[in-house]
Amino acid sequence: MQRKQQYEKDFDSYKHNIKLSEEQMLKSVEAAAKHKELCLNNSTTFELFATCMEKYEGKVDNIANFLSIRLLFIERQALQCYKSQSDEREYEQCHQKVEQDLHNCYNEYYQGLLNL
């Protein structure tokens, strides 16, 4: 009987710990999303954005993470660029710059795959 009570107590403790760790994980994910948004909103260049992200997530030593961060920044640049351009010529210049940035980013990705 005592053994059964100990197992039940251990199991209840385990369930409680899982619940706590799930809550902590959700808070961590929310905090990371808020930080990423802050970095995006406050950075004018990719270098500033990457530096801001490194402060929170640590050094980016994985090419996939680096390219993911870069694509996120390019996406934000594109949205800002498309919203702010009023005449056709400025819009076309902005569009070409975003396309070139995307092209360069994907080239780095494929080059990385070839070097594996």
Residue range 45-69, pLDDT digits in tens: 887 887 887 777 766 666 677 778 8
Whether the CB-CB separation of 40 and 8 falls below 8 Å is answered with: no
Task: Let me know whether 72 and 114 are in one domain.
Answer: yes
Q: 87 and 36 in one domain?
A: no
Report percent pLDDT > 70 for the chain.
77
Say if 48 falls within a structural domain. no
Residues 116 and 91 reside in one and the same domain: yes
The per-residue pLDDT for 50 is: 78
The reply to whether 54 falls in a domain is no
Mean pLDDT score of the chain, rounded to an integer?
76
Interatomic CA distance for residues 64 and 8, integer angstroms: 44
Residue 34: the pLDDT is 84
Distance separating alpha carbons of residues 86 and 78, to the nearest angstrom: 14
Which amino acid, residue 52?
Answer: C
**Domain span holding position 14:** 1-42
Domain count, the chain: 2
The pLDDT value given to residue 11: 67
Same domain, 24 and 64: no
Same domain for 32 and 7?
A: yes
Q: How confident is the model at residue 94 (pLDDT cuts 50, 70, 90)?
A: confident
pLDDT at 18: 62
